[in-house]
């Protein structure tokens, strides 16, 4: 038999992110939903106004097709097969994203002549030749770097309509072409009034606005919605969090979000940049000093740990801490008291630590520059902020937001949006913000076009960049070279290579056979959004909705509803008169996503409002415990967590 240890968070409720309702864990009362409700209300009002106006000008179908509130964007592999699309593009053409994956973009557009929806042969090559369009677009993109034209869109239902089509290469961090991105905008004659369209653009569906200390936090991409689920999960606990990511990716804003969504949000927030202070001042700033501790210490001063009592202390660039300071920091993290510099009185604090770094701390540990025990202590939860190039939807949303702040009357052309999407953004959000601010000041017209933006991004005229870093040869040769380079960069990791190429793993496997490429396949998957420590895996709970049978020692039996489940216990709803079930209980339920009847001994641990209780498993058969653990691991991976190596 297996007797699980006490798990502090195994049945504690986790929060639901109200902007993204598909959740796998349980709600709590730790968040004020008022702000989001207000934003949602405004968003719905704007959409209704736009649709009503469009209906007056030509019908509901036209309104829904010609007023996508966000930029209609799609990405494809280098052969033109869809790999992803924005909600606005899906709305524009009437296809669900899953219907588009793997399909070639050229089947949805025509070069000239309005497609006849009443003619069954409108997709016949004689009337609409996809291969001609595909070759024209891909050839222009591969040789010139971009493609712009007026086309006709062929939606799933209804008649075709004219659009402005702009495509460009998407490059990785090394400026290597890896995919194609395209922006599609309905032609002006099919659009609704400018005022209604402008209102729609300010509140696009799928984009969430949050305000963190007067800073607007904008979420548009699927990967960031998933990432914020991890952020919300770790915000509700007290363990340390290590945030990693490239320079300018928004690590500090994520740290502030964790504090604002935590039970400590009403307490003090204190931050320090460990790299900005001289080595001899970091320790005195963190731990304080007594009068006379060193030359110039004319009075005592509390350190940042003391100032952050009951609150959150953010250690930015924690990888730059000196080894001597790391030792003292480790003692504090282990709940040990410390002394001020020159002091004799022990000080004990209750502070939550959130740290951030753009360094590879695992490499620093191997190189002896960072303590291994401190790395593991900081990394109870590790969150990897995705770089901007991995979330193109955010590039568009952020660029438009920054432009509205600096020049409300200006806008990007579709071609300019293509240029934004094709840049690798090594400086991430900081680089994007600075670039948009520069363009807003330098541009005299109402539109920022491709030429001006491309010159600002590259630092050289657009003509000089047309074929930079492009492989020599035909399209097939270029595609083969791109696949080989991606596999080399990822050490043969096919899943990661497919992600970098902007194609599915199945498509990559097919291409490997087509080009007869034999490359040693690695077992690892793409980079995760976060890493959860072995200790915290025990406390992970996933949201469920399953019936549970509870039986007490007197034989009384009752049905309840499970709302979360971990390897240590579960949260239950609708348990009437819970005090009847004190003592050892028999618990049985069908393990989710299986036909396994799970039976265990359990104890009531806490009682909440409205019949909500938490129980802890006391005794579980080893085989059942293993199945529960496998299910829990699967849920963690689905949520975006990886495990320490």
Contact call for residues 240 and 329 (beta carbons, < 8 A)? no
Q: In angstroms, how far is the first alpha carbon of the chain from the final one?
A: 28
The structure's pTM equals 0.61
CATH of the domain at 314: 3.40.50.300
Residues 638 and 522 placed together within one structural domain of the fold: no
Least Cα distance to 542 among 641, 632, 614 occurs for 632
Kindly state whether residues 559 and 521 are assigned to the same domain. Answer: no
Tell me: do 520 and 553 sit in the same domain.
no
Q: Provide the number of structural domains found in the chain.
A: 4
Residue 618 sits in the same domain as residue 567:
yes
Same domain, 104 and 241: no
| Whether 498 and 568 share a structural domain | no
Please say whether the beta carbons of 377 and 235 come within 8 A: no
Residue of 14, 19, 8, 2 lying closest to 635 (CA atoms): 14
For residues 546 and 469, the model is more confident at 546
In a domain, 402, yes or no: no
H helix runs in 407-449, sequence order: 414-422, 428-442
The count of other CB atoms within 10 Å of the CB of residue 177 is 25
Cα distances (angstroms) measured from residue 476 to each of 83, 102, 376, 465, 472: 18, 17, 46, 22, 11
Mean pLDDT of 273-302: 86
Q: What is the pLDDT of residues 495-531, one digit of tens each?
A: 767 766 767 777 887 888 787 776 554 443 456 789 9
How many other β-carbons are positioned within 10 Å of the β-carbon of residue 391?
19
177 and 224, same domain (yes or no): no
User: What mean pLDDT is predicted for residues 3-24?
Assistant: 36
Q: Is residue 456 part of a domain?
A: no
- Determine, yes or no, domain membership for 1: no
Residue 459 lies in a domain: no
pLDDT in tens, 199-240: 334 444 467 777 776 677 788 888 888 899 899 999 988 899
Half-sphere CA count of 416, side-chain side, radius 13 A = 21
CA atoms of 266 and 260, how far apart (whole Å): 8
Instruction: Give exposure, 97-106, as e/b (b: 16+ Cβ within 10 Å).
Output: eeebbbebbb
> Residue 588: CA atoms inside 13 Å, Cβ hemisphere, count?
10
Radius of gyration over every alpha carbon of the chain, rounded to an integer in angstroms = 28
Q: Which of 144, 171, 200 is the last residue of a domain?
A: 200
Q: Please tell me whether residues 558 and 518 are part of one structural domain.
A: no
Q: What pLDDT shows up at residue 278? A: 80
Q: Is the pLDDT of residue 245 over 70?
A: yes
Provide the 3-class DSSP secondary structure of residue 395: helix
pLDDT digits (tens, 9 = 90+) for 420-441: 887 888 889 999 999 999 998 8
With beta carbons less than 8 A apart as the criterion, state whether 556 and 580 touch: yes
- Residue pair 624/596 in contact by the 8 Å Cβ criterion: yes
- Return the pLDDT at 472: 40
| Non-local CB neighbours of 224 within 8 Å, separated by 6+ positions | 386, 391, 394
Q: Are residues 168 and 310 in the same domain?
A: no
> Which of 9-13, 42-46, 511-515: highest mean pLDDT?
511-515
Q: Are residues 141 and 288 in the same domain?
A: no
Determine how β-strand 241-244 pairs with β-strand 352-357. parallel
Single residue among 331, 356, 384 that ends a domain in this structure: 384
Residue 56: pLDDT above 80?
no
- 463 within some domain: no
Domain housing 522: 475-530
Q: How far apart are CA 568 and CA 547, in angstroms?
A: 18
């Amino acid at each position: 038999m297996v007797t699980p240890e006490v798990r502090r968070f195994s049945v504690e409720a986790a929060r639901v992110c109200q902007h993204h309702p598909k959740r796998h864990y349980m709600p709590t009362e730790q968040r004020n939903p008022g702000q989001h409700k207000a934003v949602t209300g405004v968003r719905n009002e704007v959409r209704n106004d736009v649709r009503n106006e469009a209906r007056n000008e030509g019908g509901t179908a036209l309104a829904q097709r010609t007023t996508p509130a966000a930029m209609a964007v799609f990405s494809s592999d280098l052969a033109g097969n869809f790999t992803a699309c924005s909600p606005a593009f899906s709305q524009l053409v009437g296809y669900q994203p899953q219907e588009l994956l793997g399909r070639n973009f050229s089947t949805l557009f025509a070069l000239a002549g309005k497609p006849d929806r009443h003619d069954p042969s409108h997709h016949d090559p004689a009337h609409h030749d996809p291969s001609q369009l595909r070759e024209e677009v891909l050839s222009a993109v591969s040789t010139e770097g971009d493609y712009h034209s007026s086309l006709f869109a062929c939606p799933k239902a209804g008649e075709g309509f004219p659009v402005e089509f702009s495509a460009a290469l998407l490059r990785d961090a090394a400026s290597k072409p890896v995919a194609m991105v395209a922006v599609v905008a309905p032609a002006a004659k099919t659009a609704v009034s400018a005022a209604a369209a402008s209102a729609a653009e300010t509140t696009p569906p799928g984009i969430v606005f949050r305000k963190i200390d007067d800073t607007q936090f904008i979420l548009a991409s699927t990967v960031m919605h998933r990432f914020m689920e991890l952020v919300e999960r770790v915000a509700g606990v007290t363990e340390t969090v290590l945030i990693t990511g490239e320079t300018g990716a928004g690590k500090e804003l994520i740290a502030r979000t964790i504090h604002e969504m935590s039970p400590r949000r009403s307490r003090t927030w204190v931050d320090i940049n460990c790299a900005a202070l001289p080595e001899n001042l970091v320790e005195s700033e963190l731990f304080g000093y007594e009068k006379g501790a060193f030359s110039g210490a004319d009075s005592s001063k509390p350190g940042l740990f003391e100032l952050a009592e009951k609150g959150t202390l953010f250690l930015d660039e924690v990888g730059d801490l000196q080894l001597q300071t790391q030792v003292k920091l480790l003692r504090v993290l282990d709940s040990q008291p410390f002394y001020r510099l020159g002091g004799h009185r022990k000080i004990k604090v209750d502070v939550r630590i959130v740290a951030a770094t753009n360094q590879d701390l695992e490499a620093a540990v191997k190189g002896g520059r960072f303590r291994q025990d401190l790395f593991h202590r900081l990394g109870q939860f590790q969150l990897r902020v995705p770089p901007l190039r991995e979330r193109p939807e955010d590039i568009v949303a952020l660029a438009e937001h920054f432009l509205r702040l600096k020049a409300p009357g200006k806008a990007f052309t579709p071609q300019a949006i293509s240029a934004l999407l094709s840049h690798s953004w090594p400086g991430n959000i900081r680089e994007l913000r600075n670039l948009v601010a520069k363009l807003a000041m330098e541009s005299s017209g109402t539109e920022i076009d491709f030429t001006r933006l491309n010159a600002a991004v590259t630092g050289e005229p657009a003509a000089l960049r047309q074929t930079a870093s492009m492989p020599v040869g035909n399209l097939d040769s270029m595609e083969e070279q791109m696949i080989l380079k991606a596999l080399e960069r990822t050490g043969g990791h096919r899943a990661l290579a497919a992600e970098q190429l902007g194609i599915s793993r199945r498509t990559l496997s097919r291409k490997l056979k087509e080009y007869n490429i034999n490359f040693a396949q690695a077992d690892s998957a793409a980079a995760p959004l976060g890493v959860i420590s072995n200790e915290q895996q025990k406390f992970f709970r996933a949201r469920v909705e399953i019936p549970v049978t509870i039986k007490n020692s007197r034989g009384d039996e009752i049905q309840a509803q499970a709302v979360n489940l971990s390897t240590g216990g579960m949260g239950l709803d609708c348990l009437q008169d819970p005090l009847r079930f004190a003592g050892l209980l028999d618990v049985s339920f069908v393990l989710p996503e299986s036909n396994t009847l799970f039976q265990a001994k359990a104890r009531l641990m806490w009682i909440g409002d409205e019949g909500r209780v938490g129980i802890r498993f006391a005794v579980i058969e080893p085989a059942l415990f293993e199945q529960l653990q496998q299910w829990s691991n699967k849920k963690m991976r689905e949520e975006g967590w990886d495990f320490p190596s």
